[in-house]
Amino acid sequence: MTTWRRPSHVAVVDQPAAVTGDGSPGGVVYLGPLPDGPVVVLQGVAAVIYRAAVSDTGTDLVELVAAGLGVEPAEVDGEEVEQFLTELRAQGVLEASQPG
């Protein structure tokens, strides 16, 4: 299974739901690929998945995503999560820390 991390050249500002104040689950993760940009904005479910992917806690990714969304792990489609993370890797805002 692939593990992920934020590349060192990508700046980040993480605003959880409590900070954004709009009541949306997951809040917003802003990513800034340096030095040229542009900013990538991940909201709600996308923010929860990104946060879970780079959390480095050793906990199963699907469990982390489920906890972030307040649902049961069975309700999270692991394949879709992996597919989304692969797209973020293609955008350069995520990298695999171990070959998958």
Partner 1 sequence: MVPARVRVAFAHAAVQHLADREGVDVLHIKGIATDDAVRRSEAGGTDADVLVRPVHVGALLAALERHGWHRENSFETGSPFGHAATYRHDHWGYADVHRFFPGLHADPDAAFAVLWEDRLEKQLGGVTCPVPSLAGQALIQIANLARNTGALPGDPYLDRVLGDGSPLAADVRTLVDRLDAQIVVDAVLGRLDRHRDHPDYRLWRVTTQRGTRTEEWLARIRAARTLREKLRLAVRAPLVNTDHLRHTLGHEPTRWEITKEFLDRPRRGLLEEWHTRVRRRRRG
A 10 A CB-CB count for 82 gives 18
Which of 41, 59, 80, 83 forms a contact with partner 1 (CB under 8 A)? Answer: 41
Name the DSSP letter for residue 62: H
Which of 2, 30, 44, 46 forms a contact with partner 1 (CB under 8 A)? Answer: 30
3 binds partner 1 (CB under 8 A): no
Handedness of CA 93, 54, 3, 78 (dihedral sign): negative
What is the nearest approach in angstroms of partner 1 to the Cβ of residue 83?
25
Name the DSSP letter for residue 26: T
34 binds partner 1 (CB under 8 A): yes
